[in-house]
Structure 1
Amino acid sequence: MQTYLVGGAVRDALLGLPPGDRDWVVVGETQASMEAAGFRAVGADFPVFLHPASGEEYALARTERKSGRGHRGFVVDADPSVTLEQDLHRRDFTINAIAQAPDGTLVDPYGGHRDLQDRVLRHVGPAFAEDPLRVLRAGRFMARFAPLGFTVAPDTMALMRAMVDAGELADLVPERVWQELRRALASAAPSAFLRTLHDAGALAAVLPEVDALYGVPQRAEYHPEVDTGVHVEMVCDMAARLAPGDDLVGFAALTHDLGKALTPSSQLPRHVNHEHAGVAPLRALCERLRIPAQHRQLAEAACREHLNVHRFYELRASTVEALIARCDGYRRPERIAQLATVCEADKRGRGGAAEDAYPQGPALLAAHAAARAVRAADLGPGRDGAPLDGPALGEALRQARIGAIAQALSKPR
């Protein structure tokens, strides 16, 4: 059986990165011969098998022919006559089109090793244009590899722009857009995803609410970067630094300033009430892409509350308690820590502020801890001596929490 290690496992090994999942291509076999050798078929769209001992995926070498619109509109041919070179030719980028034989020999017909050395993301061939999802994959790979010095090849960027102009991205299903976005937000440089898609014109097609932020000015004394789109890039990168691999925090960072795109031009560069204006476009984005509930809820809390957290030391204890309650911080205590991280990313994700302290975060966490330490069982009876219950208990608990927060806020910083 002719088997070759392919794709990300080969690429990452050549880059000196930690190994991930290993995928294999098998040449010259059929489904019957694979099953006879003990492999278990699992592929729904094309022939993929699990190794009987390792459980790793082995796919028959295949070609693909475009048969319709979208990323699923393909006819797959996995005939035993398909060669390894033909299989590699259908892949997206040259750095993913390198195979390794069992003896360690590289099979690299499209120059992927050279592009790895040159730090270039380049498409394999014209068939790239047949799958619109590959535009998003280009952004996602840049989110991972930009810190290593990678850039997108000019001819690849030109091809992506042509795909966008042809309306190809309109056929992407929401779940696949979210999958690529989520992985980009969990990468080291989400800004490279946004910048790549923006430069290709693709961001307007898949995230128009975010794309609308580019070119919107902010007050330079607070935002030396001025451009709101650039600010969001910086916030996403800071979120990735503060909470590595956390796409939940990353999504809230991405969407916290959507309201600034709606500021009337007569008010610019000020953005009065943008935190509340941003809730509607955030909800529209979440509905369109079917964003998971936990991501929606944190993002909405960050959009609505980030200015309150920034001015935390100006807030009364009752206002802090109401903020915690609005964010569901008693039932979901982890949300307050996540909110604090998003707000810190916002404050430090601007020109010259990357190393600034953000004491508001720890102060919010201390107030939250004090409020959570209050227990209904510790409250005394009502004025009439009867045990508290119903609305009276709720109000007494709220007042006790406000008192605990006030005490926490009075401690020296």
Structure 2
Amino acid sequence: MHKAITFGNASDEERLAMTIAKRLMQAGARCYLVGGAVRDRLLGIYTTDIDIEVYGLSYEEIAQLINPILHVDLVGKQFGVLKAHGHDIDIALPRIEKNTGAGHRDFDVTVDPELDIYQASRRRDFTINAIMLDLSTMEIIDPHGGLKDLESHVLRHVDDNTFADDPLRVYRAMQFAGRLEYTIAPETLALCRHVDTTALPKERIYNEFKKLLLQAKRPSMGLKYMPDLGLIQQYPELAALIGNPEDPKYHPGERDTWEHTLMVVDYAANLREKSMHPDVLMWAALCHDVGKPLATHVSKNGRVSATGHDKIGRSIAETLLNRITEHKHLIKAVLPLVEYHMQPLLLYKQKNKVTDGQLRRLANSVNYHELLLLSEADTMSKKSGAVSDAHIKWLRSRFDALNLIPGQKIKPIVQGKDLIAIGLRPGKLFSDLLHQAYEYQLDGMPKEEILEIIKQKAASHNI
């Protein structure tokens, strides 16, 4: 592992951070790059999220020195933090923190510009995030063995006594394990199981899931730790997937629905670039089979079926998502994907009988582009056995032939003004006639023919 870091090919944020540090060091400060910025540099990742820790100057002195370079926001004074306005650069004094609640700011903070480096770094979560870079010498300082863990691909907590000060770190363990594809140290897993995470605000939790689902190449590398971290029991909808049997005919080699779900999530992660809404796709992949535990039936001959699990799963997924997030638009977009995720396969099995009207109605109910991506992840992510995307190609070609737009409902060609134009008067049956006209449209009937039928219906009802 490197003993020094060079910034010859630095990002704009890193160069600005160096300019700030040089000015502070000229005034006698000791400045260190800390946290994820150092970790990512050592991993060859260029980050725009920069944290500088400054020793030897007061909060006010730092602000006075930096302001001529750029404006700093003093919103974190009680935590000893200054933020470079318009940039992802935090300048912080060394501090000791003590948790007082579940909120992001629920800490008693003792700021001490003369604090010992080792003591100051004890508040960090994992050893790989406690590595420091001395910005005067560009040498690495590793007070807790983070370099060794970085080389071994191990996620290990820094300190038994400070780790639980922020319960979110249990979710961060899951998130980092997934994004970095690291193993969580046994002693860290044991510690996490004793951390109470139940009072955490849901949006803090959601953000860790979001990082995992949208940034990890294989989110399963983090999700698989949910049982060992003591998290899975907080999500009974997911816990129920563990041990729920899968039909070996369609899921050869898969232990249970939880393993199947993790495989689907990983496959979906490879489709994120094709997705219109990657966050929606990934949450749908995680939730798509949550209805199976209630629908699964094992026959006397050992055949496993879960008929109707897609429909049942919608309400279960809604409960799960509402527990994790307040993003109503996200939930609204995920639920139809869960409800209709079996449709591509079911329609293909009777493809010679499928009408254009069926497909138009399906496209009105769900974003069919995302549905096909989810179906691909669901059917192509098998451990063994034959796989085929024939149903996806067939259905996509049928949708394309109808000139439908994914995520957009088909606009009615017959409107109220059209009914008035043929002599109808608005009344209680008016909206019913418009609904019938729309159904005829979905079946492919042209506007003129629809209006003629509506006119006849209206005459029979004396409208």
Which of the numbers 116, 130, 153 marks the counterpart of 1:119?
Answer: 153
For residues 151 and 257 of structure 1, what CA distance do their matches in structure 2 show?
A: 27
2:105 is the alignment partner of 1:76: no
For residues 298 and 238 of structure 1, what CA distance do their matches in structure 2 show?
A: 20
Q: Give secondary structure in 2 for the equivalent of 1:124.
A: coil
Deviation readout 1:23-42 (Å, 9 max, x if unpaired): 11111222221222224312
Counterpart for residue 37 of structure 2 = 9
Deviation readout 1:370-408 (Å, 9 max, x if unpaired): 4879765699x78x966998554554444334339xxxx
Deviation readout 1:65-97 (Å, 9 max, x if unpaired): 234567654311112222332222110111100
Count residues with an aligned counterpart: 389
Deviation readout 1:252-274 (Å, 9 max, x if unpaired): 11111111122366667311211
Which of the numbers 124, 129, 137 marks the counterpart of 1:91?
Answer: 124
**Matches for 1:11-410 after TM superposition, within 5 Å:** 11-37=39-65, 38=67, 39-43=72-76, 46-51=79-84, 56-68=89-101, 73-102=106-135, 103-126=137-160, 127-146=162-181, 150-163=182-195, 168-186=196-214, 187-205=216-234, 207-224=235-252, 225-244=254-273, 246-263=278-295, 269-313=304-348, 314=350, 315-327=354-366, 335-352=367-384, 356-357=388-389, 358-360=392-394, 362-363=396-397, 365-366=399-400, 369-370=403-404, 391-403=432-444
- 1:349: how far off? 2.5
Letter in 2 for 1:281: I
For residues 398 and 123 of structure 2, what CA distance do their matches in structure 1 show?
A: 52
Give structure 1 stretches of 5+ with no counterpart: 328-334, 405-413
Equivalent pair of 1:98/1:112 in contact (CA under 8 Å): yes
Letter in 2 for 1:240: A
CA RMSD of aligned residues (A): 3.1
Equivalent pair of 2:127/2:156 in contact (CA under 8 Å): yes
Letter in 1 for 2:94: A
Give structure 2 stretches of 5+ with no counterpart: 1-28, 446-463
The 1:53/1:298 distance shift into structure 2, 3 A limit, reads closer
The TM-score, its normalising length taken from structure 2, stands at 0.76
Tell me the percent identity: 32
Deviation readout 1:177-211 (Å, 9 max, x if unpaired): 11111111112111122101122231222x22112
Equivalent pair of 2:244/2:256 in contact (CA under 8 Å): yes
Q: Higher helix share goes to which structure? A: 1
For residues 237 and 89 of structure 1, what CA distance do their matches in structure 2 show?
A: 34
The TM-score, its normalising length taken from structure 1, stands at 0.84
The 1:131/1:23 distance shift into structure 2, 3 A limit, reads same
The 1:361/1:61 distance shift into structure 2, 3 A limit, reads farther
- 1:43: how far off? 1.8
For residues 8 and 203 of structure 1, what CA distance do their matches in structure 2 show?
A: 27
Deviation readout 1:209-261 (Å, 9 max, x if unpaired): 11210110011111111410001101111111111592221001111111112
Q: Which moved more, 1:241-250 or 1:190-199?
A: 241-250
